[in-house]
Amino acid sequence: MRDSGPQPTKQLNDTYDYIIVGAGSAGSVLATRLSEDTGSTVLVLEAGNTGENNWFINVPLVSALTQKSNEDWNYQTEPQQHAAFAMKERRSCWPRGKVLGGTSALNMMVYARGSRYDYDSWAEEGCEGWSYQDVLPYFLKSEDVLIDELKNSAFHSSGGELGVSRSSYTALPSVLLQAGQELGFKAHDCHGPDQIGFCRMQATVRDGKRSSTYNSILKPAMSRANLHVGVNSLVTKVLIHDGRAEGVEVMREGRTLTVHARKEVILSGGAVNSPQLLMLSGVGPRDHLEDMEIDVKADLPVGDNLQDHLMVFIPVLTNTSIPITKDTVGNVWALMDYVIHRTGVIATTGVEAMAFLYEDGNVTSGNGKAPEIQFHLHSVHGFTENEKQFENFNLNEKTRDLVFSTAVNQSSFSMLPILLHPKSHGTLRLKSKDPLQYPAIDPQYLQHPGDIKTLLKGIRLTERLLDTKPMREIGASIDPSVPMYKLCEQHLFRSDAFWMCFIRQLAVTVYHPTGTCRIGRKDDPTAVVDPQLKVKGIKGLRVVDASVMRNMPSGNTNAPSIMIAEKAADMIRGVDTVQRWKQQIRGHL
């Protein structure tokens, strides 16, 4: 998969108009759009490498193998009091991309935008310009929908750089959609006029290859003379003088350099690194910075409001051979399909359908309410009994022994109810002034009692789905012989107490940390950046990535991070590049 093509910049200049920290989902897009102005010089600094040597990045089915590789920051949370009981030291692993494309090069490629009501509530709470009507054109700008029946929809767009395709292989999505219909839910496009209901997967995959923001957006722009891309370059500090960001300090090739910004420094390091870098640079909660003996440049709630989605794997047995198994994948035909045609099972992500639901099971949407629960359908057999997943989820020895001593042979798939709007919010704080030391990440999973109740309702909805005719026809069942369920065998199987135990043992991150540099009105004490994404009280400094999200969107966070970068680019350039999509959606919202 290695290819030649534009190479990263060897020699950096002393000064650029814009310096972007981090070439991830947001940073890669921002660098590309800002450098469309040939009169502007742009530098994007990325701590990781190009990723061209990591074959697993581009191959959809094996994306989990990118975790714990060189291209992963490999974070872990602080020990959790209310969750992660089956994990070593009760710590949840937090993979994050350290590579061009950032976490878009490691993620599961689910394309989701969130509910219109998420963005409308940002706007109602003072984030002018961030309503659904405002942001939808920026989702559409980067999209190239490759799914025939969606090509004429006002809610999709063709011609952008980010390929969005179906990426399905098994018959399970049809079964799930029919099961949903039996319960009265719509089977439709979850990005259409109404989000509530069931939909087949839309995935950021083009021609059997991951569409990361590096390979689809930044890479084709890298030959521009006014765009420099520095890899293996860790920014350790934003240089702030007299209330203005003047440049950055960067560790590169064993040396520390200073690079100056004529106009702006823009942080796109993601929800862990952007707040860390702000605090290292003197922007953060005064008490904490003083404890760390860091000069306070602005007293702001950086690192508060940490929010993340949580999911529970519900293993489901089936008496069919529909799910993807080692045999489906590990045979010469599957390999040839992929290597020669970029098709077949290896070209798909294994996450084949999703749903957005209200916790009370109501099938009609509206009333200004976003869904509380998302489902992922994971069509891979024995997912939680897989060695690599054990490592990725940091599962402890007790769980390992239990699961591998009792593995069942019957074919299985997984349903994953996801908590979309956690009431438990956590924090991110520095552990040290040393930029090489990782910060303390404490999401406080399940600290608020409402969260476990919502997840339990998600499981009860799963049970209802499995009790439909289409599911019964494939022999779908939640069966006590499944090893994972033995973790809670002290409770009556499938009782509330059983499921609550199961959730506290095994609920895992959906890998969507957000909110640590929250957007809000200038006078909002919880906000770090204003609606223009400018850091309050510091000139020439913005944050553009998942950390600015005010509250979590009702869905996965890659497309929203890209949308934020698209919108920020227009705000910074002072242009409106989305007239075409504003026209397209007129009369459809």
Q: Which residues bind ligand FAD (CB under 6 A)?
A: 21-27, 45-48, 95-99, 102-104, 106-110, 112, 233-235, 268-271, 273, 277, 511-512, 545-546, 556-559, 561
CA nearest neighbour of 504 among 200, 80, 214: 80
> Residue 62 burial (CB < 10 Å; 0-12/13-18/19+)?
middle
Backbone angles phi and psi of 16, in degrees to 5 = -135, 165
Question: What's the CA gap between 108 and 469, in Å, rounded?
Answer: 30
Residue 69 C-beta: closest distance to ligand FAD, Å: 12
Closer to ligand FAD by Cβ: residue 104 or 468: 104
- Min separation Cβ 98 and ligand FAD, Å: 4
| Cα gap 14→247, rounded to integer Å | 10
Asked whether residue 235 is marked as a ligand-binding residue, the answer is: yes
- Minimum Å gap between C-beta 500 and ligand FAD is 26
Gyration radius (Cα) of the chain, Å: 23
Three-state helix/strand/coil letters over 323-356: CECHHHHCCHHHHHHHHHHCCCHHHCCCEEEEEE
The CA distance from 6 to 162, in Å, is 19
Taking the mean position of all CA atoms in its chain, how far away is CA 171? 26
Q: Which is nearer to ligand FAD, 112 or 135 (CB)?
A: 112
Which of 270/470 has CB closer to ligand FAD?
Answer: 270
Smallest separation, CB 317 to ligand FAD (Å): 25
Token duo for residue 539: 């000139």
The answer to whether 175 is a known ligand-binding residue is: no
Strand runs (DSSP E) across 127-200, as ranges?
Answer: 143-145, 162-164, 197-200
Whether 208 contacts 365, CB under 8 Å: no
61 vs 500, beta carbon nearer ligand FAD = 61
Q: Is 103 annotated as a binding residue?
A: yes
Shortest Å distance, C-beta 491 to ligand FAD: 30
d(CA 398, CA 454): 28
- Cα pseudo-dihedral 566, 568, 570, 576, rounded to 10: 80
Smaller CB distance to ligand FAD: residue 90 or 98?
Answer: 98
Q: Considering the complex, what minimum distance in angstroms separates the CB of residue 525 from ligand FAD? A: 24
By the 10 Å C-beta count (0-12 exposed, 13-18 middle, 19+ buried), 409 is classed as exposed
Least gap, CB of 102 to ligand FAD (angstroms): 3
Nearest to 187 by CA among 406, 400, 468: 468
Tell me if 558 sits within 8 A of 525, measured CB to CB: no
Residue among 389 and 406 whose Cβ is closer to ligand FAD: 389
15 sits in which H/E element: strand 15-21
Q: Minimal distance in Å, beta carbon 375 to ligand FAD? A: 14
> Rounded to an integer, what distance in angstroms lies between the CA atom of residue 177 and that of residue 470?
9
Does the annotation place 205 within a ligand binding site? Answer: no
Angle of helix 449-466 versus helix 172-182 axis, rounded to 10: 100
| 329 marked ligand binding residue | no
Q: Over 425-465, what HEC string results? A: CEEEECCCCCCCCCCEEECCCCCCHHHHHHHHHHHHHHHHH
The two structure tokens encoding residue 497: 């107490």
Q: What is the C-alpha separation between 58 and 510, in angstroms, rounded?
A: 20
Query: Residue 446: which of 373, 515, 507, 392 has the closest Cα?
Result: 507
From 82, 421, 512, 588, the catalytic residue: 512
All residues at 6 or more sequence positions from 314 whose CB lies less than 8 Å from its CB, including other chains:
414, 415, 416, 417, 459, 462, 478
Which is nearer to ligand FAD, 165 or 556 (by Cβ)? 556
Known binder of ligand: residue 380? no
Torsions phi, psi of 368, nearest 5?
65, 20
Q: Which is nearer to ligand FAD, 21 or 221 (CB)?
A: 21
> Under a CB-based contact definition with an 8 Å cutoff, are residues 141 and 135 in contact?
no
Q: Which two tokens stand for residue 14?
A: 């002393």
Calculate ∠ Cα 225-43-283, nearest 5°: 165
Instruction: Say whether 363 counts as a known binding-site residue.
Output: no
Indicate if 512 belongs to the active site.
yes
d(CA 563, CA 137) in angstroms, rounded, equals 9
Q: Which residue is nearest to ligand FAD (CB)?
A: 24
Shortest CB 159 distance to ligand FAD, Å: 21
Which residues belong to the annotated binding site?
Answer: 99, 103, 107-110, 235
Which sequence positions are flagged as catalytic?
512
Which residues belong to the annotated binding site for FAD?
Answer: 99, 103, 107-110, 235
